[in-house]
Structure 1
Amino acid sequence: MEIKSIKKLKLHGFNNLTKTLSFNMYDICYTKTVEDRNAYIAYIDEQYNAERLTKILTNVSNIIGANILNIAKQDYDPQGASVTILVCEGPVNPEQCEHSSDNESPGPLPDAVVAHLDKSHITVHTYPEYHPDDGISTFRADIDVSTCGHISPLKALNYLIHSFDADIMTIDYRVRGFTRDVTGKKFFIDHKINSIQNYISGDTKDRYHMIDVNVYQENIFHTKCILKEFDLDNYLFGVTKKDLLPGEKKKIKKKLKKEMEEIFYGRNMPKV
């Protein structure tokens, strides 16, 4: 099913549609010893502390054109962090809306952040954790960008992907509520969208396998992604492939692949 392009609406009052982007990223790692595991968790905790996450979300606010009202941030003991930003809508200046959400296209990259407009909240929570026996450590970050009004938070997606460089991503986008035009007719979506993938840059799509699960009649869109290439060195912390025996490398690769497949498919895989 294809959603046809919607002409610019003449609204009665404010645009009451709520658009929510949920972006979940996963970083997978193998740590051979308890010391390596603790070092990895500490590294991730520092890499994605509340201060850096605040900078990322501030740039997200700029990309979607939001005015920041308040920032609450917290690093947790022993690990993890949360940031919540409240934002409000600003006036629309069409000449500044270079990344308008009226078309399906990727938003800016981290080195090309621009501003334009809208309202609600942005949150991030991080979850470093590890398998008690298998040496697998998994870091997850959950980001929600919720706006009301004309623009779509999907324009921040390209920036978020490049900011985290994840092994696995799950992305959800939903439009809720309705708005009215000047005749009183209800509109349950105000922009064309066929797939979240259309908001992701080509270089990213080349690197990931992507699967869509969309419910068009409910304005619900879901895309999950997993890296195509697997280099064991990218998943080791504290050691390299050269430090491992051939049998160890095979066993560790099998554990990592199982962890990634379980996260990607959302179910536990049988042991083989």
Structure 2
Amino acid sequence: MHETKLMEECDELVEIIRQRKQVIAVKIKESKVMKLRKLAQQIANCRQCLERSSALITQAEHSLKESDHARFLQTAKNVAERVAMATASSQVLIPDINLNGAFDNFALDFSREKKLLEGLDYLTAPNPPAIRDELCTASHDTVTVHWASEDEFSVGSYELQYTIYTGQANFVSLYNSVDSWMIVPNIKQNHYTVHGLQSGTRYVFFVKAINQAGSRNSDPARLKTNSKSLLLLGSDKRPLRFKVAFTRN
């Protein structure tokens, strides 16, 4: 089954690369056609300018051979006007395309993808996360659970499970036997605050690290919410404090 899955996944990668190759090749071809079309138009314009310049040079050479003073001046004037017109239209000889830098803004850099492909490996279930008791905090109705994971980059999400601690010493039996576990799925960070808990009550928490290959649970952690304090004023107007404990029926 794993061999078949490996072949299927690799074939999908090859197919994606083949499709991307075709898409990029079409873009390069379209750019090439556009640049060649502009270059052909520029060459045609340059050829026309050269032909006009050649005719102008021929006329100038004939004018230099003219012996009649008045006719020479008239011909020279015509040549000067044509030279001025040619100079005014000489911008056509400035290239519209920088042929040396035609593809300066185009690069084929697949170094990142190569590194990803070189790092291909099979996926295993993540190592069990560890609940960090020293970072966990509580109020009278909330508990914030913090945990750490050795291979957090392979973890897709975390799942937090908790229930009221009944004093059962065997946590494995507790995990398998208690039906009233509360579950918080799809946690992306390494901490979570549970609200709506009973005050002064001890809870058992598990954290599950999950990816496509499977999941593993942390060791259990027992965390207790704070007891509520009731503030009353005595006859001397000084506050009296009483702790109110809540018990399960």
TM-score, normalized by length of structure 2? Answer: 0.22
Larger radius of gyration: 2
Tell me which of the two structures has the higher relative contact order, counting C-alpha pairs closer than 8 angstroms and 6 or more residues apart. 1
Kindly indicate which of the two structures has a greater share of residues assigned to helix: 2
